[in-house]
Amino acid sequence: CCNLVHGAKISNKQMMACLFSFLVSTDLLPADSGEGVTFAFLEQLMDILLQYILKSFDRSTKVIDFHYPNDLLEGFNWELDEQPNTLEDILMSCRTTLKYAVKTGHPRYFNQLSTGLDMVGLAADWLTSTANTNMFTYEIAPVFVLLEYITLKKMRAMIGWPGGCGDGIFSPGGAISNMYAMLIARYKLFPEVKEKGMAAIPKLIAFTSEHSHFSIKKSAAALGIGMDGVVLIKCDVRGRIIPSDLERRILEVRQKGFVPFYVSATAGTTVYGAFDPLVAIADICKKYNIWMHVDAAWGGGLLMSRKHRWKLNGVERACSVTWNPHKMMGVPLQCSALLVREEGLLQSCNQMNACYLFQTDKQYDLSYDTGDKALQCGRHVDIFKLWLMWRAKGTMGFEAQIDKCLDLAEYLYNKIKDREGFEMVFDGKPQHTNVCFWYVPPSVRYIQDKEERRNLLMKVAPQIKTRMMAFGTTMVSYQPQGDKVNFFRMVISNPAATQEDIDFLIEEIERLGHDL
Amino acid sequence: CCNLVHGAKISNKQMMACLFSFLVSTDLLPADSGEGVTFAFLEQLMDILLQYILKSFDRSTKVIDFHYPNDLLEGFNWELDEQPNTLEDILMSCRTTLKYAVKTGHPRYFNQLSTGLDMVGLAADWLTSTANTNMFTYEIAPVFVLLEYITLKKMRAMIGWPGGCGDGIFSPGGAISNMYAMLIARYKLFPEVKEKGMAAIPKLIAFTSEHSHFSIKKSAAALGIGMDGVVLIKCDVRGRIIPSDLERRILEVRQKGFVPFYVSATAGTTVYGAFDPLVAIADICKKYNIWMHVDAAWGGGLLMSRKHRWKLNGVERACSVTWNPHKMMGVPLQCSALLVREEGLLQSCNQMNACYLFQTDKQYDLSYDTGDKALQCGRHVDIFKLWLMWRAKGTMGFEAQIDKCLDLAEYLYNKIKDREGFEMVFDGKPQHTNVCFWYVPPSVRYIQDKEERRNLLMKVAPQIKTRMMAFGTTMVSYQPQGDKVNFFRMVISNPAATQEDIDFLIEEIERLGHDL
């Protein structure tokens, strides 16, 4: 049957397209004799996806075909109606959607920490969609539950916890993983909080660097700790926490009678890519009996690299670690893990023993029903794409890919550090693939008045970015940080990027910005 | 190029398979001239997926090929190694994974609230994986952000909020949607909680029914309110909240000096499928100025049906509604929406203004950068499959699908309510597709001693379920509830199910249970 449709497709593509203008979704499986139409429909869809994949890797195509929200809203009929649309309309909607999508796999897309389009990861994600199940019980996701178990253990072993012991869970993103960590740290110290709430326990204070991710504060707000329960520790010029400042602030807090309960160190900050000094932080956490979390959402991938993993030295002393394979390791979105050193905490902190789901009289080993560890009830299968990519590449494949990205960042740094018109935001070789710099157009380059220069420079990156998106040739992010006005933050996590793409980026910024 | 590979595949399938035993993932795109290998690899994968889809709808195949965790762990090599594996191994891993997967699209899979495999939904999910982007900004997900905007508005209009006004977000599941609702309800009453935490505000009490979902308590525990901040209200025999008991408990709580802040009514409880009387609850919430949330994760789909939507009468008076299209509407996992009547609350409650993501000097209308409303930072694209299915079916298509499932539930109820050996857990026609019943084997049927009967009956459902999974013919859930011992909870949300499948289930339970 499959071959027949394959045949039909080649010789009768036009006929099929014509047919689709009469057919609707109820003609697809599970309709009686729906196989032929279903296979033809999915093949057409595959054609559309394969063309998109080809274009994603083609440097001669745009990264983005940008349109303003209102233009995009009004330019097409996106409305949801009472009546069904034909399969032809559905395929057309797919084409239109991809036409205006950002090609996040494009070798010149550098806009976020998650870039690239891994073919094995993609295949795994298609399979995951097809299996369409839920992680809460072994009963309905036997293989995926086991693969999560195996992969989490492997990740813990790479962190350096003996024998890969401990616990963990895949969560919908780094922010939620960080929230889990704060939640269980609080529970570990004051288990009564689960029953009685924050009113029954002393005021808790968490510590993190001023360069850390906003999810630490967001977690504190959500968990009822409050944003004022997060103390931001000073960083050095490279964005790394200053341990002596951390210790000073802990003592300060204790003197006030509050309870320092949580330090969130960062391994790979979002903007600078800085690695906090984990060993020094671990010493302080040990001294004051504080939960040490490492937010390695971005930097965790470096554990795969023999050349770079020293940057995370001390991570093995953490109580919990956030590690997002969807960032540096290029796994399709979403794939974020929280790893916990102490077994059983996740379960006792979050379990509610819902008997409609976690029946205690099942025939199999109930320790595989991991759903009650989660804040979620249903949980998407995020594991398969990571597991399959790991099988395909081996640890050494991830290592090669990550080392290459770090080499490219160094290449970029070396090219612009002394280049006219470029100014580094901080000195020295980048620790991660983040390269932060200003482009200073000729009109601003020689201005002596600091305030005037600053005010002009602030507007440069946004203007270049606007032009960049209008041309659609490349995408890179910018932002201010502290007292530094808008600068470009270049990040490289796409294995498709090469030195030529870096060269292109530099020249494109000059081309788009020189007349500003 | 595509056609060439298509041609190659038909004539040289064997040769390709042979090739894959030498090729590895680095031979795929973005490798130079990787198109051919990539297309052939993805075509092979598609073949595997299409075969799985065919089997999913084939009643002669098993729903599950069950193996105990240790057997599955030891029966295969799932390990993650240093070295890469060949593409042949990767394709074999895909086949093995699907061989032991539960066919959640099978017409005889009734185990969860999320069942079925919608072909347009699946196509949309494949496209989503291929686009591989993130919902936080319009910049990198222009179309998806707009489709979320359009779809949320449409859903709000169906709830009955004038002109579809209000706010909302797609979240990773109903439990998180419910958590959002509690979070913003707290913030609305005491905005200072964001900054100062729970210690700065009075003790809050939430109310929900004893039949409600465990995520209400889980949210209270996580948010620092505490599980003892959730008062469970009594239900009638059908599992619906008793409004007079709700009012009594609110007054009780007020007298103690606590603040009743939140009522979570349920539209479609997990086990009984009960709909709380929303109008009466809305009156009480209005009287005492309490946030009314409706957890319509399971029942929300009935808003699509002119015949059944009256069961949610009063939902238009809610302040927030959880509605999971991945349940009754058959959208692939995950797809859950939180709808909020008041605009701006989600944003002010959750925003952290991270300037690396939500730059204020972008060129487009920043109201489309919805990421700061979320608890998450990165957020998976869950909207496209719902939007595309809605386009394909039209509202009337969803209606037909949902009405059919409810008809089937009534068919089941009518068949077993007076059938020998079957006993209903509660009397009367089911409100939703949940049909709760005991199968009482002949050996238990005539036992007079209530305690003895109870103890025996308790073991029947688990034993039948164990046999059911061993045979793999069908899957249905069981659980105890309150003082009722283990009973079957049949739910129907799969459009592929027919009356014959219902007949099959009844006979299969009798076949597997009659000798117990």
Euclidean distance between CA atoms A377 and A373, whole angstroms: 9
B2 has pLDDT over 50: no
Instruction: For residue range B111-130, list pLDDT tens digits in order.
Output: 999 999 999 999 999 999 99
d(CA A323, CA A297): 4
Q: Is B179 on the interface with A (CB under 8 A)?
A: yes
Strand, coil or helix: what is A79?
coil
> What is the amino acid identity at position A75?
G
pLDDT at A1: 35
Q: What DSSP state is assigned to residue A25?
A: G
The pLDDT tens digits of the residues spanning B301-350 come to 999 999 999 999 999 999 999 999 999 999 999 999 999 999 999 999 99
Q: Which two tokens stand for residue A238?
A: 């490279």
Residue A4, pLDDT score: 44
The answer to whether residue A11 scores a pLDDT higher than 60 is no
pLDDT band at A18 (very low <50, low <70, confident <90, very high): confident
Q: What is the spatial distance between Cα B313 and Cα B309, in angstroms, rounded to a whole number?
A: 7
Rounded percentage of chain A residues whose pLDDT exceeds 90: 94
pLDDT-derived band of residue B19, with 50, 70 and 90 as boundaries? Answer: confident
Percent composition of chain A: helix, strand, coil (DSSP 3-state, to 5): 50, 15, 40
Coil, helix or strand for B177? Answer: helix
Q: Which residue of A has its CA nearest to B138?
A: A69
Q: What is the pLDDT of residue B1?
A: 34
> Does pLDDT of B14 surpass 90?
no
pLDDT grade for B13, boundaries at 50, 70 and 90: low
C-alpha B478/C-alpha B298 separation (Å) is 17
User: Closest chain B residue to A332 measured between Cα atoms?
Assistant: B132
How distant is the Cα of A428 from the closest Cα of chain B, in angstroms? 22
> Smallest Cβ distance to B81: which of A42, A47, A394?
A394
B222: nearest CA partner in chain A: A223
Report whether the peptide linkage leading into residue B30 is cis, meaning its omega lies within 30 degrees of zero.
Answer: yes
Contacts with B, A 40-59, CB within 8 Å:
41-43, 45-54, 57
pLDDT per position as a tens digit, A248-268: 999 999 999 999 999 999 999
Name residues 304-333 of chain A within 8 A of B (Cβ). Answer: 326, 332-333
Task: Name every chain B residue with its beta carbon within 8 A of the beta carbon of A26.
Answer: 393, 397
Mean pLDDT of the B275-292 span: 98
The C-alpha of A135 sits at a distance from chain B's nearest C-alpha, in angstroms, of: 11
**What are A420's two structure tokens?**
């006219």
Q: What is the pLDDT of residue A87?
A: 97
Whether residue B31 lies within 8 A of chain A, CB to CB, comes out as: no
The whole-angstrom distance between residue A506's C-alpha and the CA centroid of its chain comes to 25
State the Cα torsion A226-A229-A230-A234 to the nearest 10°. Answer: 140
Residues of A within 8 A of B361 (CB-CB) are 459, 462, 486
Give the nearest partner residue to B146 out of A78, A179, A397, using CB atoms.
Answer: A78
The Cα of A327 is separated from the nearest Cα of chain B by a number of Å equal to 11
**Chain B residues near residue A147 by CB distance under 8 angstroms:** 78, 97
pLDDT of residue A88: 96
Q: Which residue out of B98, B110, B115, B119 would a mutagenesis test of the A interface target, given it has the greatest number of A Cβ atoms within 10 Å?
A: B119
Contact between chains at A30 and B495 (C-beta distance less than 8 A): yes
Cβ of residue A92 closer than 8 Å to a chain B Cβ: no
Instruction: Give the integer Cα–Cα distance in Å for B504 and B107.
Output: 11
- Range list of β-strands (E), B58-158: 109-110
- Does any CB of chain A come closer than 8 Å to the CB of residue B198? yes
Inter-chain CB proximity B377 and A154 less than 8 Å:
no
Tell me the mean pLDDT in the region B37-65.
96
| pLDDT value, residue B276 | 98
**Cα gap B324→B396, rounded to integer Å:** 18
> Using CA atoms, how far apart are residues A211 and B356, in angstroms rounded to an integer?
11
- B223 with A228: Cβ contact below 8 A: no
Phi, psi values for residue B255, rounded to 5°:
-65, -30
Task: Name the residue facing A376 among B119, B176, B363 (closest C-beta).
Answer: B176
Enumerate the residues of chain B whose CB falls inside 8 A of the CB of residue A46.
Answer: 42-43, 46, 126
Rounded-to-integer distance, Cα B359 and Cα A4, Å? 53
Read off the tokens for A337: 């893990």
From the list B6, B67, B229, which residue is nearest A10 (CB)?
B6
Question: Over 80: is that where the pLDDT of B209 sits?
Answer: yes
CA A516 from chain centre, in angstroms, equals 33
Handedness of CA B415, B416, B420, B421 (dihedral sign): positive
- Residue B12 pLDDT grade (very low, low, confident, very high; cuts 50, 70, 90): low
Looking at the partner chain, which of B119, B196, B378 has a beta carbon nearest the beta carbon of A333? B378
Touching check for A344 and chain B: CB below 8 Å? no
What average pLDDT score do residues B395-411 get?
98
Q: Is A355 on the interface with B (CB under 8 A)?
A: yes
pTM here is 0.97
Contacts B95 to A, Cβ<8 Å: none
Question: Residues B407-421: what's their mean pLDDT?
Answer: 98
CA distance linking residue A197 with residue B219, whole number of Å: 11
* End-to-end Cα distance, chain A: 62
pLDDT mean across residues, chain A:
95
Q: Which of A42, A140, A271 is nearest residue B111 as measured by Cβ atoms?
A: A140
Determine, for residues A354 and B214 on separate chains, whether the beta-carbon distance falls below 8 Å.
yes
Average pLDDT over residues B55-74: 96
- The band of B3, judged by pLDDT with boundaries at 50, 70 and 90, is very low
B300 token code pair: 């929300």
Average pLDDT over residues A39-65: 96
Residue B210 makes CB contacts below 8 A (sequence gap 6+) with: B232, B233, B234, B235, B482
Q: Given a cut of 50, is residue B144 above it in pLDDT?
A: yes
Instruction: Determine contact: B225 vs chain A, CB below 8 A.
Output: yes
- Give the chain A residue whose CA is nearest to the CA of B361: A462
Q: Does B190 lie at the interface with A, CB-CB under 8 angstroms?
A: no
Reported confidence tier of residue A16, pLDDT bands at 50, 70, 90: confident
> Over 70: is that where the pLDDT of B163 sits?
yes
Q: Does B279 touch chain A (CB under 8 A)?
A: no
Which residue is closest to B185 within chain A, CA to CA? A222
Contacts of B61 in chain A (CB under 8 A): none
The residue of chain B nearest to residue A107, with distances taken between CA atoms, is B30
A151 touches chain B (CB under 8 A): yes
A203 contact residues in B (CB cutoff 8 A) = 197, 199
A462 Cβ under 8 Å from any chain B Cβ? yes
Question: Would the pLDDT of A5 be above 80?
Answer: no
Q: Does A482 touch chain B (CB under 8 A)?
A: no
Q: Which candidate, B138, B119, B136, places its Cα nearest to that of B127?
A: B119
Chain A CB within 8 Å of residue B259 CB: no
Name which of A42, A200, A479 is nearest B123 (Cβ-Cβ). A42
* Mean pLDDT for the stretch of residues B21-38: 94
Chain B positions touching A4 (Cβ under 8 A) are: none
Residue B459 at interface with chain A, using a CB cutoff of 8 Å? yes
Contact (CB<8Å) B392/A85: yes
Answer yes or no: is pLDDT of B372 > 60.
Answer: yes
Q: Which residue has the tokens 């680095």?
A: B26
Contact B139 A387 (CB under 8 A): no
Query: Given pLDDT bands bounded at 50, 70 and 90, which one contains residue A12?
Result: low
Flag if B129 and A125 touch (Cβ within 8 Å).
yes
Decide if B80 and A365 are in contact by the 8 Å CB cutoff: no
Number of A to B CB contacts under 8 A, please give it: 514
- Distance from C-alpha of B50 to C-alpha of B54, rounded to nearest angstrom: 6
Averaged confidence pLDDT in chain B: 95
Nearest CA in chain A to B380: A334
CATH number for domain A16-103, candidates 3.40.50.720, 1.10.10.10, 3.30.930.10, 3.90.1150.170 = 3.90.1150.170
Q: Which residues of A touch B223 (CB under 8 A)?
A: 222-224
